[in-house]
Amino acid sequence: MKIINYLSTIAVPLVILLIILYGIFEKNKVYDTFLEGAKEGLDIVIKIFPTLIGIFLAVGALRSSGILELIINFIRPIINILTIPAEIMPLAMLRPISGSASMAVATDIISKYGVDSTIGLIASTIMGSTETTLYTIALYTSAVKVKKIRFVLIAALIADITGMLVSVIICRLMS
């Protein structure tokens, strides 16, 4: 166990050292290359910043307005038929939008129902088997200026729904 701790402690400094040594060996100006990369990174951040602000604003509005509870009450007959616990629906609805919001909801679910409860297991499995789809698509497409995302969005949301349904089924079978 001590060797794993030691390796994890030196991993990042070792990778940085290897990159610098490789750059010197190849006769590249390592620091100038680093500065160019940092400049490109800042350009990308400036391009995607409005998208990030929009997503954070939308998530904040969803969480504080009570719309999630309204939607959950509206679809309750469907989730009852599918035997999906209503307690995980806020997580299922926020997960495609925001990683931090879904992490907060998952943490709340686990602290309320317990790690080993069926609901806690479903929440954990959803967190591991789905993606922050809208956030990821918005970030990547805004960075490369792609406007037509309809088919990507549909496929990604179908994958998220599948991941969530399979999470419920597997956790129900396992408990």
Retrieve residue 153's tokens.
């969005």
Q: Does the pLDDT of residue 151 top 80, yes or no?
A: yes
Biggest CA–CA distance in the chain, Å, is 66
Instruction: Classify the phi-psi angles of 132: left when phi > 0, otherwise alpha if psi is within -120 to 50, otherwise beta.
Output: beta
**Burial tier of 101 (Cβ tally within 10 Å: 0-12, 13-18, 19+):** buried
For the chain, state the CA radius of gyration.
21
Whether the pLDDT of residue 124 is over 90: the answer is yes
* Residue found under tokens 């396992």: 174
The domains of the chain are located at 2-174
CA dist 38 and 42 (Å) reads 6
* Entry pTM: 0.67
Q: Inform me whether the pLDDT recorded for 120 exceeds 90.
A: yes
* pLDDT at site 139: 79
56 has a pLDDT exceeding 80: no
Reported as a single tens digit per residue, the pLDDT across 72-93 is 889 999 999 988 999 999 999 8
Cα–Cα distance for residue pair 13/149, rounded to 1 Å: 39
Q: How many CB atoms lie within 10 A of CB 124?
A: 16
For the chain, the DSSP string reads -HHHHHHHHHHHHHHHHHHHHHHHHTT--HHHHHHHHHHHHHHHHHHHHHHHHHHHHHHHHHHHHSHHHHHHHHHHHHHHHTT--GGGHHHHHHTTT-HHHHHHHHHHHHHHH-TTSHHHHHHHHHHHH---HHHHHHHHHHHTT----HHHHHHHHHHHHHHHHHHHHHHHHH-
